[in-house]
Amino acid sequence: MNLPDYNFLPAPLWLVTILHVVTLTLHFVAMNFLFGGLIVLVFGKMANKWDDPTVSKFIRLFPSAVAATVTLGVAPLLFVQLVYYRQVYAATIVSGWFWLLLVGAVMIGYYFLYASAFSINGSRGRVPSFLGLAFLMLLYVSFVFSTVFSMGERPDVYQALYAANQSGWVINSDVGSWLFRWLHMILGAVTVGGFFVGLLGKGNEPVYNLGKKFFLWGMMTTMILGLVYLFTLGDYLLPLMRSVAIWLVVAAIVLSLAALHFFFRRKFVASALLLFLSMVGMVVVRHTLRLIFLEGKFDPGTIPIVPQWSVFIMFLVFFVIAIGLVWYMLKLFLVEKPA
C-alpha cells in the first residue's frame, strides 16, 4: 500500500508567504492589544486606576481579545507549518510537555480575564490579582513560543537536544537565540499596548497620558533591545545586512517614530496606520532571518507545488468576512452611546 505524498504546497510559495505575513501581523495586533494592554494596566501608575470607566472598558475587552488573538493565530501557524512543518514539529516534540501546557495556560489566563471583567462591577479589589495571574499565564505562553520557534530555526540545536533527552521536558538551551528575541517581543507588546490604552483613553486625560508614557518608553527600549538582538546574531548578521531586510528595519524604525509623532498630536488614524506598517516590516524581517538561519539546511523553494485553489479561495472569503465582523463588533463596543 502506497501512502499519499503530502510533501507539497497547495499554492505558490510567494502567496503562502504573503498570507503568512499578513495573518501573523494581524495576530500580533490582537496579541499586543491583549498582552501589552495587560502589562500597561497591571504595572502602570494612575490615581484611582481601578475605578476609572475607561480602564474598566479596557478590562471588559480582554476576554474578547483572547478569542481574537487565538483565532487570528490559527492561520499564521498553519501557513508556517505548510512550509516549515519538519522544523516546527521537531522543535515542539523536543519541548513537547511545555508545548502541551500552553492549552492549560491559555485557559487559566482566559478564566482570570473573565473574572476581572465580571469583578469590575463588584469586587474591584480582586481585579489587580486576577489581572496579575492572567499576565503570568500569558508570559508563559510568550516564553514557550519564543523558545520553540527559535529552536525550529536551528536544526543542529533540536537534533542535539533530542539525542540527549527525549522526555519532552527540554527547553532550548541556546539561550542567546531566544532571550533577546523574547524580550524584544514583550517590549514591542508594551509599545503597542500603550498605543491602544492611549487610543481608548483619548477622551480621558489620565488614561491617555498613561498610554502615551508606555508607548514612548516602550518604543525607545524596544529599539535599543532590537539593536542589541541584531548584534547577538553573530555570523548571521552579515547576510542580514546584505539583504533587503536591513532596509525594512530602518523603515520600521522611521515608521514607528512617525506613529509616535502623530500619536502625540492626537492624529490616531495616521498613527495606527504607520504603526501597523512598521509591524508588517518587522514580520518580514523576522521571516528573512528564518531563511538566513536555515540557509544550507532547508530551502522552501524546493517544495513541489500542487495548487488547490478552491481551498485558498474559501479561506480568503471567510477570512475577509471574519475581519469585517471583528471590525464591526469593535465599532459597536467602542462608539460612545448617547445617554
Checking if the pLDDT of 57 tops 50, the result is yes
> Can you read off the three cell numbers belonging to residue 1?
500500500
100 φ, ψ (degrees, to nearest 5): -65, -30
Q: 162: closest CA among 151, 150, 153?
A: 151
Going by pLDDT thresholds of 50, 70 and 90, the confidence category of residue 122 is confident
Q: Considering Cα of 63, then 66, then 67, then 68, what sign does the dihedral take?
A: positive
CB atoms within 10 A of CB 150: 22
Q: What one-letter code names the amino acid at 45?
A: K
Instruction: List, for residues 278-289, the tens digit of each pLDDT value.
Output: 999 999 999 999
Average pLDDT value over all residues in the chain = 92
Instruction: List, for residues 288-311, the tens digit of each pLDDT value.
Output: 999 999 999 999 999 999 888 898
Q: Strand, coil or helix: what is 335?
A: coil
C-alpha span between 143 and 178 (Å, rounded): 9
Q: Is the pTM of this model over 0.85?
A: yes
C-alpha span between 7 and 1 (Å, rounded): 18
User: CA separation (Å) from 293 to 122, 152, 153, 197, 335?
Assistant: 51, 10, 6, 36, 46
pLDDT at 8: 86
Checking if the pLDDT of 1 tops 60, the result is no
Domain ranges of the chain: 13-295
Residue by residue, DSSP assigns 13-54 as HHHHHHHHHHHHHHHHHHHIIIIIHHHHHHH---TTGGG-HH
First-to-last C-alpha distance (Å) of the chain: 70
pLDDT at 331: 77
Q: Is 150 left (phi over 0), alpha (psi -120 to 50) or beta?
A: alpha
Q: Classify residue 278 by burial, with Cβ atoms within 10 Å: 0-12, 13-18, 19+.
A: buried
Average of per-residue pLDDT across 80-96:
94
CB 289 within 8 A of CB 238: no
pLDDT at 152: 95
Q: Among 180-184, 213-217, 309-313, name the one with the lowest average pLDDT.
A: 309-313
